[in-house]
Structure 1
Amino acid sequence: MKNLWNSIVNSFKSIKSWSDFANRANLTIEVIRRIIVYTFAGLMILLSLAIGLGTGYVSALTNQVSVPTKNEMKTELQDVNNSATLYFADGSKIENLQKEVQGKKIPLSQMSPYLKKAIVSTEDSDFYRHKGVVPKSIFRAIISDLTGIGAQTGGSTLTQQTVKMQMLSSETTWKRKAVEIFLAMRVDKYFSKKEILQDYLNAATFGLNNKGQNIQGVQAAAKGLFGKDASQLNIAESAFIAGLPQSPSIYTPYSTTGTGGKMKSNLNLGMKRKNIVLYRMYRDNQITEAQYNQAKKFNLKKDFIKPAKASSQEIKYGYLYNLLTDEAKTELIKKLVKSDGLKYKEVKKDKTLYDRYSEQANTELHNKNYKIHSTINKKLYIAMNKQAQDFKGNLGTTHTDTAQDPNTGKTIKVSEPVQNGSVLLDNKTGQVLGFVGGVNFKKSQLNHIFTNRSPGSSIKPLITFAPAIENGLIGSQSMLADFKTSFKKYSPTDYGQTIQNRFVSARETLEESYNIPSVNLYNYIRQQGVSSKKYMSKMGINLSNKEYNQLGITLGGTSEGVTVLQQASAFSTFANKGVHVDPYVLSSVVDPSGKTVYKHKGSKTRVFSKQTSYIIKNMLHGVVTKGTASALSYETNFSNKNLFGKTGTSNDYRDNWFIGSTDGMTLASWIGYDNLYGNNYNLASNSTDINQELWAKMANALYQEDKSVFNINKKFKKPSGVKSYTVDKETGTSPGTIGYNGITTKVNQHTTKSLYYKGSPKEMSYDNFAIGGKSKNYKLFWDNYFGRDNGYATVKTLGSSKKSTSELASENGSGRTSGFSNSTNSNASSEVVTDSISTYSSSNNNSTTSNGNTETGTGSGTSGSSGSGSSSSSNSTSGSNSSSSSNASSNSSTGNESSTNQGLENNSSSNSSQAGSGSSVEETPSPTAE
């Protein structure tokens, strides 16, 4: 700069004449002119570039936005004072969602002219002159937002505000603003100013009414504040209502008390806002000076109506209402997240962000006319719930107690009834056709098809027996040891702390739900490198590696538990010939314009082979014909010829299950206490009989309503690849010879059929035919086989129970104790089949045992770890029926069915305090040799 100045000074000093001065002055002016021209041109280029970049940016933001048609825009703009509608599968209405706002849509002609003038003067004085947006207002708002200089005026016209309320989310991103501008211009193009103003006045929110309810639209505002129609509003009343949308919660004259409305003690802010609106009306020549002064003096406080209580809406199908609302909200959240270019999994990790989307989706559902379609069959749903309600008094004792209200801290009286969670699945599609969420929705909204509980022995075929068959480790008649045993500190027992004291077949183990043989088998398959996790996860049940490492998992000893829906869905895999179909209850969601925003897409996964599935069905058929669920043979009003199922009871009768399947459906029923207030209530010892009776009543009612759902006459056809071997009934091996006391003896007097998918029966041997067998067990068996009366197959009680073995056997089931054991000298055999194979029976001529049908299994110490036999414990619980002095204290600890219950994501409430109860209780009726 100094050099430039010196140059200019020297230039002027060198001037010798006026003509020389004039020439140099002209040259300087030309240089300055060119600098100005070039600078201006540069600025214009930069401005053009900025405008181009801005236009490109806006285009990029909006290019993924689908352009709505006029009809779609009209539907969305006029969708006010509505809420989503829930539907049964047949299209009949379930219920409308409760509205978050109260309102009624009215035409513009039924609104006070003062109200229309007040809104326009206050919110958008150029409303009748612009084309949906005001560029200078937008530019001013952008500069203010970028620089932080000046008041944030927003720059939104009434058209933009209407678009924002009715067509967009409430987020404040640049993308949403760009889309808002784009849609506002489109709305202004297709609709008249009167239509836009009418839509705005019906859609805007105006705070609370005298009942403490949120209100939408000027008619609800007029009625809720002044007790009159919108057409009857005077200037002062109109001005007050017109001032509310800027900040409804601040300016509204009422607050809410939870049961109704309450007048605020200070109304000054609302009154000041009203006067501002009146001034703007006067400024815009909408009212005269005299009207302005008169309205300012009007005593509006006396005009407000008195507070009142709000009436409550009764929900007819409470559990279904909540379930569908939660499911639809989740899908809307996913849609909103995706539209913003985010990933749902990432958003879930950010609680604040997820809550924002959740609130947005919730507002959409409760204020827009979405249509939510379900898979629920109305007749079947009603039939199931009627049976549950009629039978709930028989489920067990309802305990009453006092507890501390977690919200108020006050002592309240509470009742704990036996709860029921049941679900009916269509096996082929995975559709939930019906369910029972609980016994009393008014007292507990916890949906019990989603609470995590110990599955008890109902998990045995899923986690142990099917994987064993799939990998060729056993056949249906393979022998498993049921003797006193211990895996270091883990000592499982059968029902009532008993042992069968004999070898039992895999088929009979499932039929009578014995625990020790199941633990021996689970330990064995793990030693052979078979991972149950591989199969369970494919069926939608995800357990931890720690749980899989504990032997008690085969008896339901989980730390987290499973839900009724998960267990039913997993069980349906067998009916589907080894293919798992994901269960679902939400079929589609349609937005107010008629566009389907969500449609369920089915997912199928091959878990087991069709051969394994057939063998498991074949074995589990015996559960309902002569095993722990044999009472169904006379309790059901339909043929059980093609029905299979499994019972399950967790330690101390905390949980009781029955899951039954036909070709068409799977019906699962669970009963138990929530113990929400820290109590320790357990079911009665006959809970197995009770739950089966409930299951039968529901099944009978369902069958009467729609026989086609059951497809009861469809046989389980044996697929090619299932091999049937003739085996020795007592050993499960091929008939052959053994050496006994130095003599070679042929063993083949009692034979039966054993089904295999892979592998084949073992060769006859003295001491290697049973899984889990020990030398002393084999000696006891063979000595008895050859005539010695040594107590083999005599049920023994290991604990301190004062009940007889027959009492223990019958207390939870049908009480049948006869049958025949696997150590019989009868020439006949027994085999349960579901297809063309004959059904054999025989009387027991040797070593008959009195084996009941109470599935009460317990174990001592802590849970055993497979393979190494190590023990671990977690989740302290109530005492279990342990056979040692120290009760099992881990959820997965007792070698039996442990109970848990925690809540499930997305759809459900948190779980009751049952989590972590101990070992299993398994019902066990008559033992029958195969």
Structure 2
Amino acid sequence: MTLKETNSTREAIFYYLELSIGIIRSLLLHLLAFGLVAGALALGLGLGYFASLISHTDIPDYTTMKSEINSSYEASNLYFAKHVRLGTMQTNLVSQSVSINQISPNLTKAITSTEDEYFYQHKGVVPKSVLRALVSSLTGIGAQTGGSSLTQQLVKMQILSSETTFKRKATEILLALRVDKYFSKTEILQAYLNAATFGRNNKGQNVAGVEQAAQGLFGIPASQVNLAQAAFIAGLPQSPSVYTPYKNNGKLKRDLSYGLQRKNTVLFRMYRDNKISYQAYQAAKKYDLTKDFLPQGEDSQKKIKYGYVYNLLTQQAKDIIKKQLYQKDGLSSTEVNKSGALSQQYDLQAEQLLANRGYHIYSTINKPIYNAMQRVIKQQGPSLGQTYHDTTTDANGNAIKVNEPVQNGSVLLNNQSGAILGFIGGRNFSKSQLNHAFTQRSPGSSIKPLAVYAPAIERQIIGSETKLADFKVNFNGYKPTDYGNTIQNRFINAREALKYSYNIPAINLYREVKAQGSIKPYMEKMGIKTLTANDYKNLGLALGGTDYGVTVADAASAYSTLSNAGQHADAYIIDKITDANGKVVYQHQPTTTKVFSPATAYITSNMMHSVVTSGTASQVSSDTTFNTSNLAGKTGTSNDNRDSWFVGSTPKVTLATWTGYDNYNGSSYNLTDASSEITNRFWSNLANEIYNTDPQALGTNLKRKRPNGVNKVSVVKATGKLPGRLTVNGQSIFASGTRKKSYYAGWKPGKTTKKFAIGGRDKDYNAFWKNYLQGNNPEAALHGGEVIPNEYTEGNGNIGIGQSNTTN
């Protein structure tokens, strides 16, 4: 190659090299510019997103924030109605606030080195830690813990909850910045040391605050802990349940290595931060801490008073607080309940708030009335039925003796407000904590007015004297009968059918009601929402045949609708909840729903009054000591006398009672044939005791006023319709005779026709008119059936899945 060619080649190489460098430089500049723009855009979007998250956040003022970060752990307080104190919620958390001067410097140094090494430098948050935690949360790369300064932890513990949604995290950061602005580092540290949790003490109690931690672990105040003890305490907040040396019964764990290793980690961080010398670090590492742990102690919890009320209020308060928590996070009940873990998380948060924040929970329970109801069940519980004795096997396979007493659940409820004034949860709380007032059982025939008669009156299918067929039926294999496998074999007016709780007329009427539309809307508007699609599909629902049943509280609530002009007020037991400072955090908002017209409610109640005066509950009128002229009620007994009910309403209150056995151990005990009479008598004694305690409580002197829309019509007693001319077997006749007053909700009946009743076959009507033409009593039993017009008749229903055969 010539020199000229060589130079030419070099020039070409240099040219392309310069060109490549230029391209790379240009590319890098473009990438850098793009990165800056993208970064700025991302920062802008991030700041915008952050701003949107906190845009609706209420920022507490200085006074409120000071009160919140320094609030000590205090259990919630429970109250009867009228602010009568019930007691304090039991909590397994002990705490004691002390000033920073009463805390050893060993502890303050250990905590800051472990929980927040930049505590004295940052302004409430550590930006790089927040960014690291955010990236970890979004990508799943790295440990998804940390990122919270000690100030943020304080905000989370005392102002917010532990839920970690992005919105909550953004609020946490904002409040941490505000706390750091308002308060000194010493004030923040003191608040944290009094609020943080430190595992369990030697009594098995959960501990909050370093003072109780020192006392519960080593039996000394926080001011006297040595370096090793301080490091151990400081290591606990990261995972209290893992590092605590004690079990939940206060016994020392066999393996203490996790907590001791954590203690050494804390010591190293203190040494690394130049807060202790190397010699002190080594000495504390070698220190035998196990000899300082206290032996097991005794937890002297006070006995719970009013156990059924206590459990009910604490559970309902937890549900209320839980709902507030997830709604604040923008979640629905469906979303929360779909995830067991998420639901459990909110349960835990609500429990912690109730245990620690000193709420005041005000209930609707009238203490004198509640005590009166307890006196009755205590005195007369044994008379409800015998106690059975049996043997079964425990979890270890050992034979044990068990007792099966008859149980009772009762509820007294205000019709207009829905407030539950009193209840009976069971015979003995110490032996069974199951609250039978809120446990689902088969309603038997107590469901008839709600599911059959009231909807039929509302849909203008019947009046109070409309005739219903009571003849042999077969609905695709379902062959219900009246009590004792009897059949009346006659046409019966609706009032009498309800009064004596005949089954076949109820089934015939229910079929007619269903043909005009579902009864589900009526039931759910009355507060009964536990019935299944299978329940609504089966005709047996008319007699109380359900998959799971209804609670006594739900039954009382539903019946209150009929004594409240067809308006249903949701039942409730918690009136309001306030925080420790008296601020209302929950207030029950009364809601009423129209279920039936006032005319329907009046007519149904009027018919149920006949149940009390001369029907299946006629003994109530003689057993009670007050005026029952405005009392309406209904009995109910399920198949084989498994459940026995009576629900009675005045214009002011509804009192529902249920009796039966729990049959926990696979047993199948039933009540006797006299169960309905026993239940009626118990209801009367219960109502008498309530009346004696407060004569105004039952509203016995309030009258049921007939509203506009109730039409009172004189009908032919034999047919339940107006007189009329018709042709029967080629013969023209005028159907008339004895007349009777019948009530209708906004309509009037037509003239008598050949088929004048609900249900019945051609041969049933032919037999009726044959008697009529022959001058015999057309209302007498046909086809050889037995008429039982005035005899006490109780029957059975069904608690299991499918149809109900017989019920009262």
CA contact (8 A) 2:491 2:779 kept: no
Q: Which residue of structure 2 aligns with residue 452 of structure 1? A: 440
- 1:268 equivalent in alignment to 2:251: no
Segment drifting more, 38-47 vs 643-652:
38-47
Within the candidate set 492, 510, 525, 1:538 is matched to 525
Q: Which residue of structure 2 aligns with residue 846 of structure 1? A: none
Q: Secondary structure at the match of 1:504?
A: strand
Q: Which one has the bigger helix percentage? A: 2
The superposition leaves residues 233-292 of structure 1 with CA deviations (integer Å, 9 ceiling, x where unpaired) of 223222221222223233222223xxx222222323333332333344445454455554
Q: Which residue of structure 1 aligns with residue 715 of structure 2? A: 727
Q: Which residue of structure 1 aligns with residue 364 of structure 2? A: 375
C-alpha separation in 1, matches of 2:646 and 2:198? 53
The 3 A distance-change label for structure 1 pair 9 and 298 is same
- Segments of 5+ residues of structure 1 without an aligned counterpart are 1-5, 15-23, 798-804, 806-820, 822-848, 858-896, 901-914, 923-930
Q: Which residue of structure 1 aligns with residue 806 of structure 2? A: 920
Q: Which amino acid aligns with 1:324?
A: L
The 3 A distance-change label for structure 1 pair 777 and 498 is farther
Q: Which amino acid aligns with 1:854?
A: T
In the TM superposition, what is the alpha-carbon distance from 1:664 to its structure 2 partner? 0.9
- 1:394 equivalent in alignment to 2:394: no
The superposition leaves residues 367-401 of structure 1 with CA deviations (integer Å, 9 ceiling, x where unpaired) of 32233332222222222233222221111112222
C-alpha separation in 2, matches of 1:789 and 1:726? 20
The 3 A distance-change label for structure 1 pair 308 and 736 is same
Within the candidate set 209, 216, 225, 2:208 is matched to 216
C-alpha separation in 1, matches of 2:755 and 2:336? 59
Q: Which residue of structure 2 aligns with residue 898 of structure 1? A: 798
The superposition leaves residues 344-386 of structure 1 with CA deviations (integer Å, 9 ceiling, x where unpaired) of 2223222233222223323322232233332222222222233
In the TM superposition, what is the alpha-carbon distance from 1:313 to its structure 2 partner? 4.1
C-alpha separation in 1, matches of 2:659 and 2:475? 31
Q: Which residue of structure 2 aligns with residue 755 of structure 1? A: 743
Q: Which residue of structure 1 aligns with residue 4 of structure 2? A: none
Q: Secondary structure at the match of 1:273?
A: helix
CA contact (8 A) 2:535 2:802 kept: no
C-alpha separation in 2, matches of 1:209 and 1:759? 73
Q: Secondary structure at the match of 1:449?
A: helix
CA contact (8 A) 1:372 1:590 kept: yes
Within the candidate set 177, 195, 203, 1:203 is matched to 195
C-alpha separation in 2, matches of 1:751 and 1:64? 70
In the TM superposition, what is the alpha-carbon distance from 1:8 to its structure 2 partner? 12
Q: Which residue of structure 1 aligns with residue 11 of structure 2? A: 10
Q: Which amino acid aligns with 2:491?
A: F
C-alpha separation in 1, matches of 2:134 and 2:619? 76
C-alpha separation in 2, matches of 1:349 and 1:670? 33
CA contact (8 A) 2:418 2:569 kept: yes
Within the candidate set 560, 565, 568, 2:556 is matched to 568
Q: Which residue of structure 2 aligns with residue 656 of structure 1? A: 644
C-alpha separation in 2, matches of 1:770 and 1:88? 49
The 3 A distance-change label for structure 1 pair 364 and 774 is same
Q: Which amino acid aligns with 1:368?
A: R
Q: Which residue of structure 2 aligns with residue 350 of structure 1? A: 339
Q: Which amino acid aligns with 1:641?
A: S
Within the candidate set 169, 182, 187, 1:177 is matched to 169
Matches within 5 A, 1:773-784: 774-776=762-764, 779=767, 783=771
Within the candidate set 328, 350, 353, 1:339 is matched to 328
Q: Which amino acid aligns with 1:55?
A: L
Q: Which amino acid aligns with 2:121?
A: R
In the TM superposition, what is the alpha-carbon distance from 1:173 to its structure 2 partner? 3.9
- 1:79 equivalent in alignment to 2:71: yes
Q: Which residue of structure 1 aligns with residue 496 of structure 2? A: 508
Matches within 5 A, 1:444-843: 444-527=432-515, 529-542=516-529, 543-592=531-580, 595-735=583-723, 750-764=738-752, 768=756, 771-772=759-760, 774-776=762-764, 779=767, 783=771, 792-793=780-781
C-alpha separation in 2, matches of 1:617 and 1:789? 30
In the TM superposition, what is the alpha-carbon distance from 1:309 to its structure 2 partner? 4.5
CA contact (8 A) 1:499 1:795 kept: no
Within the candidate set 363, 369, 381, 2:352 is matched to 363
C-alpha separation in 1, matches of 2:307 and 2:716? 56
C-alpha separation in 1, matches of 2:593 and 2:453? 19
Q: Which residue of structure 2 aligns with residue 101 of structure 1? A: 93
C-alpha separation in 2, matches of 1:161 and 1:765? 81
CA contact (8 A) 2:544 2:799 kept: yes
In the TM superposition, what is the alpha-carbon distance from 1:765 to its structure 2 partner? 5.6
In the TM superposition, what is the alpha-carbon distance from 1:428 to its structure 2 partner? 0.9
What do you get for the CA RMSD once the two structures are aligned?
3.6
Q: Which residue of structure 2 aligns with residue 53 of structure 1? A: 45
Matches within 5 A, 1:133-172: 133-142=125-134, 154-172=146-164
In the TM superposition, what is the alpha-carbon distance from 1:758 to its structure 2 partner? 4.2
Within the candidate set 49, 61, 64, 1:69 is matched to 61
Segment drifting more, 55-64 vs 617-626:
55-64
CA contact (8 A) 2:194 2:208 kept: yes
Q: Which amino acid aligns with 2:314?
A: T
In the TM superposition, what is the alpha-carbon distance from 1:662 to its structure 2 partner? 1.0
- Segments of 5+ residues of structure 2 without an aligned counterpart are 1-6
- 1:856 equivalent in alignment to 2:795: yes
The superposition leaves residues 377-431 of structure 1 with CA deviations (integer Å, 9 ceiling, x where unpaired) of 22222222332222211111122223344x6565443322222121111111112
Within the candidate set 278, 290, 293, 1:304 is matched to 293
Matches within 5 A, 1:293-332: 293-332=282-321
Q: Which residue of structure 2 aligns with residue 905 of structure 1? A: none
CA contact (8 A) 1:84 1:367 kept: yes
C-alpha separation in 2, matches of 1:678 and 1:430? 36
The superposition leaves residues 143-184 of structure 1 with CA deviations (integer Å, 9 ceiling, x where unpaired) of 566677777772432212211222223234443332222111
Q: Secondary structure at the match of 2:247?
A: strand
Q: Secondary structure at the match of 1:261?
A: coil
C-alpha separation in 1, matches of 2:473 and 2:131? 82
In the TM superposition, what is the alpha-carbon distance from 1:629 to its structure 2 partner? 1.1
TM-score by length of 1: 0.78
The 3 A distance-change label for structure 1 pair 248 and 469 is closer
C-alpha separation in 1, matches of 2:553 and 2:123? 55
C-alpha separation in 1, matches of 2:662 and 2:331? 38
Q: Secondary structure at the match of 2:664?
A: coil
Taking every aligned residue pair, what percent have the same amino acid on both sides? 50
The 3 A distance-change label for structure 1 pair 100 and 741 is same
In the TM superposition, what is the alpha-carbon distance from 1:639 to its structure 2 partner? 0.5
In the TM superposition, what is the alpha-carbon distance from 1:643 to its structure 2 partner? 0.9
CA contact (8 A) 1:505 1:732 kept: yes
The superposition leaves residues 843-877 of structure 1 with CA deviations (integer Å, 9 ceiling, x where unpaired) of xxxxxx574323115xxxxxxxxxxxxxxxxxxxx
